[in-house]
Structures are given as structure tokens and as C-alpha cells.
Amino acid sequence: MRIGVVGIGGVGGYYGGKLAWKYEKPDQHQIIFISRGEHLKAIQKNGLLLHTRDGNYIVRPNIATDNPAKAGIFDLVFFCTKSYSLESSAQQFSSCIDKNTIVIPLLNGVNSARRLSAILPQATVISGSAYIISHIERPGFVYQKEGPGKLVFGTDDESAPKCKNILDILLVSKIKAILTDKISKVLWEKYMLICSLASLTADTGKTYGAIMEDANLRRKLKAMMKEVLAVALARGVFLSENCMNKAMQLIGNASYDSKTSFQLDMERGKQKELDILTEYLCKEGRKMGVPTPLHDEIYAKLK
């Protein structure tokens, strides 16, 4: 199987790196990294240095390129780009994707599969969700700071078992993968945490620990999560308040100085994923007639 990983940042570098480590010899599967700039040059020259919580690796994909012609046709491809690059990346590599290709986005939002399906109608697009805190430390070096490294993917119907071969490939690569037939619930559970936390950390400039030790901010974070629960319910996805309690516990267990990637992008003056986080929730709330005043207030500042 020819497996592409589009975007070798924190997410793509981690999961793609695990795949490339296991399948360095192309006798079973061929791993293709799609990257660009100095990061790509470093990978092409020295391989990718991957620092994870379970060990360090120097991985060499079978192909590392930014050229669709050199990448060839993918049987399976993971999109690990930032949200604002998703459509352009899909268009650029559409010639590598045909009617037999399975496409799995691993982005933070809940609508990535729908967006990819619009660009790649010939492919089978299914949803995925990554649970990792990692980043590019320098060109050619991806560093996992926290997170279990879990990857959940699948559908909302009985077709999920058809992806069992992909699950096996991921598990053999020591990736903590789960195949589900309730992927919308999975996506919205993560979105409840990410959207609320990213919005609040970006607005306040505070770390996870600073928010959790401040009673007022802790209450505000829970209230923001409830806004996401309400929008999800209006969309036909029921999430219990127990999901919120688990999310709060997860944040509390993280390192005191942890920051969301959204917050870090703001601090570094980089383009941020406002479109799939705060903005998306506010727009969906208005469309579904669900009030989201806390997110609306922060969106007005951040936009």
C-alpha cells in the first residue's frame, strides 16, 4: 500500500514518523512524506528526527517531496495540514488521489472530511481525530511534548469495519489507533475541549495550569464547553456532561505550562486556525439558533 502523509508538522511528523520507522523498507508499504521548505530539505538529507515519549527515532520515508508527480498515486493518505491550507493542499495533490484512495484528515475541527469531499469527490473520505501535543522544533526535528498519541478514525455507520486493514497497519506501527462507527461523537468530544480551551487561552494568554488554578476562569471554561455541547446537540450529536468533566480532568493533568497550538500561533504572529475553532462554533450556533455568547465575545476580539 502507498501511504501519503500530507503535512509533516507536529501531527503528521508523529504519525508519519511512526509509519516510516516501521515500514522503512518498501517491501510491504511505501510511506510518502509531503512537506516543503527547509523542513523538507532536512528530511531529504538526514531523515526526520522524531522525539516521542516512548523513544527517539531517525526515520527515513521512502519518498519525501513537495512534487505531486514524484509522490505518485496514494492508496491511503492522511491530511495533517493546518486548516487554512487544507483546500489548497488537496487541490495541489488531487492528481495523487483516485477512486481507490482512502483519505483521512487529522485536523482539529469537525468538518474537515466534508471539505475534502468537496475537493476530492473521486475519493473515499472518512474522518479522523489525533490526540497529540507536538511541534516542529527545528527543520527536520518533530518533538512530542504531551498527549497519548492516540488516533481515532472511522465512520458513523456499519461501513467502519471495511477499514480494518488500515487499523492493522497503524497498530503494527505502534500507533494507538482506534476504529469507530461513531466518529461524529468522537470529533465533537475533542472539539468541545479544543475549541473552548484554545479560545480561552488565546484570549487570556494563560497556560493550562494558570486557567485551572483560577476559579473564575475554570468556571468560564466549563461554561464555554456547555455552549459547544448545546451546538452539538442541535446538530444531532449528543454529548453528556460527563464528557465535559473528563475534558476538565484531562486539562488538569497536563503540564502547568502547556499551551494550545492556537495560542502559540498567536504569540508567534503566525496564521491561526480561527476558522475551524471559535469562528466555526459561533457560525454554527447562529445557524442552529443556539446562543454562544462567551465564544462570540472572544471571537469579536480575535478576528
Please indicate whether residue 241 or residue 152 has the higher confidence score (pLDDT).
152
The pLDDT of residue 266 is 87
The pLDDT of residue 272 is 84
The pLDDT of residue 95 is 96
| Of 48, 55, 1, nearest in space to 167 by CA | 1
What does the pLDDT average to over 14-41? 94
Q: What are phi and psi of 124, to 5 degrees?
A: -95, 115
| Of 303, 198, 206, nearest in space to 261 by CA | 198
Q: What are phi and psi of 202, to 5 degrees?
A: -65, -35
Q: What percent of the chain has pLDDT over 70?
A: 100
The pLDDT of residue 62 is 96
Distance CA 74, CA 83 (A): 21
Res. 26: pLDDT tops 90: no
Of 64-78, 145-159, 180-194, 216-230, which gets the smallest average pLDDT?
Answer: 145-159
Q: Pairing state of beta strands 124-125 and 2-6?
A: unpaired
What is the domain class of 2-181 according to CATH? alpha beta
Report the CATH fold assignment for 185-302: N-(1-d-carboxylethyl)-l-norvaline Dehydrogenase; domain 2 (1.10.1040)
What does the pLDDT average to over 152-180? 94
* Alpha helix ranges (H) inside the chain: 10-22, 37-46, 68-71, 86-92, 112-119, 164-172, 183-204, 208-212, 215-234, 241-253, 261-267, 278-288, 293-302
The pLDDT of residue 146 is 80
What does the pLDDT average to over 64-87? 96
The pLDDT of residue 227 is 97
Q: What would you measure as the largest C-alpha separation in the chain, in angstroms?
A: 57
Q: Where in the chain is the domain with CATH 3.40.50.720?
A: 2-181
Please indicate whether residue 105 or residue 133 has the higher confidence score (pLDDT).
105
Res. 158: pLDDT tops 90: no
What does the pLDDT average to over 92-109? 96
Encode pLDDT of 169-203 as tens digits: 999 999 999 999 999 999 999 999 999 999 999 99
Q: Which are the contacts of 200, defined by CB distance < 8 A and separation ≥ 6?
A: 206, 211, 217, 220, 221, 224, 298
Q: What percent of the chain has pLDDT over 90?
A: 84
Do residues 4 and 78 make contact, with C-beta atoms less than 8 angstroms apart? yes
Encode pLDDT of 199-233 as tens digits: 999 999 999 999 999 999 999 999 999 999 999 99
Distance CA 113, CA 109 (A): 10
Distance CA 66, CA 277 (A): 28
Q: Which residue has the cell 469495519?
A: 161
Q: Where in the chain is the domain with CATH 1.10.1040.10?
A: 185-302
Average pLDDT value over all residues in the chain: 94
- Grade residue 147 by pLDDT with cuts at 50, 70 and 90: confident
Res. 303: pLDDT tops 90: no
Encode pLDDT of 242-284 as tens digits: 999 999 998 998 889 988 888 888 888 888 889 999 999 999 9
Res. 161: pLDDT tops 90: no
DSSP state letter for 157: S
